[in-house]
Amino acid sequence: MRIVLFGPPGAGKGTQSKLLRERYQATIIATGDMLREEVHQETPLGREVRRYMEQGMLVPDELVIGMVERRLRRLKNGRFVLDGFPRTVAQAEALGRLLARLHLPLQAVISLEVPAEEIIWRLSQRRICDACGETFHLTFRPPPEDGRCPVCGKGPIIQRPDDRPEAIARRLAVYEAQTEPVKAYYATNGLLHRVSGLGEVEEVHRRIVKLLEGRPALATM
């Protein structure tokens, strides 16, 4: 499987990619997580991208494209789920060229559709483990009171700086202006499939699986 999971911040791309990884042994390429790791490690790239991320702005295309290219070249079994990339039409075009060179053409773009009010609610309730990135939700999956992450045993559990209200508003505006057009780009070449991102995690997962397995080539290649 070679797919893009597409959607606004907070649509559930991270959660759904993990379930797809389990089911199809695909590698997750999540640019937001990779960039946060660079910031955490204080690498030269991390120092360059930090302020864009904290303000909820997009990191320059060439930096993200280079990072994705390096990751795709190390791929083992040719199966991937891209999460959070591409976020601009220029990135989508660069991805197309890169995948053609690697003989790994994209099979589908799954757009998780979630209304704006729900997105704002989800992002403001989101907390993450600062060590491993595991996500929590103050209402539906409250973080442990002792601040120790149940997944990695570390922590602390924090609010992402870009999940604060000012940054959320910026990210949604950036999404509308720069990322939404990517959907039209993939709709014109027939790769786009829309799936409702509302409801329980498992329910959304089943919708995606149904879509993929209704097209056997997508799930098995």
Residues that bind ligand AMP (CB under 6 A): 9, 31-32, 35, 52-53, 56-59, 64, 84-85, 87, 91, 162, 171
Which residues, listed in sequence order, are joined to residue 111 by a DSSP beta bridge?
6, 194
Q: Which residues contact 66 (CB under 8 A, 6 or more apart)?
A: none
| Cβ closest to ligand AMP, residue 134 vs residue 219 | 134
Q: Shortest distance, CB of residue 70 to ligand AMP, whole angstroms?
A: 14
| Cβ closest to ligand AMP, residue 123 vs residue 219 | 123
Q: Which residues contact 65 (CB under 8 A, 6 or more apart)?
A: 91, 94, 95, 98
Q: Shortest distance, CB of residue 216 to ligand AMP, whole angstroms?
A: 29
Q: Which single residue brings its beta carbon nearest to ligand AMP? A: 32
CA–chain centroid gap for 1, Å, is 16
| Cβ closest to ligand AMP, residue 30 vs residue 219 | 30
Q: Shortest distance, CB of residue 210 to ligand AMP, whole angstroms?
A: 25
User: What is the sign of the dihedral through the CA atoms of 202, 206, 207 and 212?
Assistant: positive
Are the C-beta atoms of residues 148 and 154 closer than 8 Å to each other?
yes
- Hey, which residues are catalytic here? 13, 87, 126, 160, 171
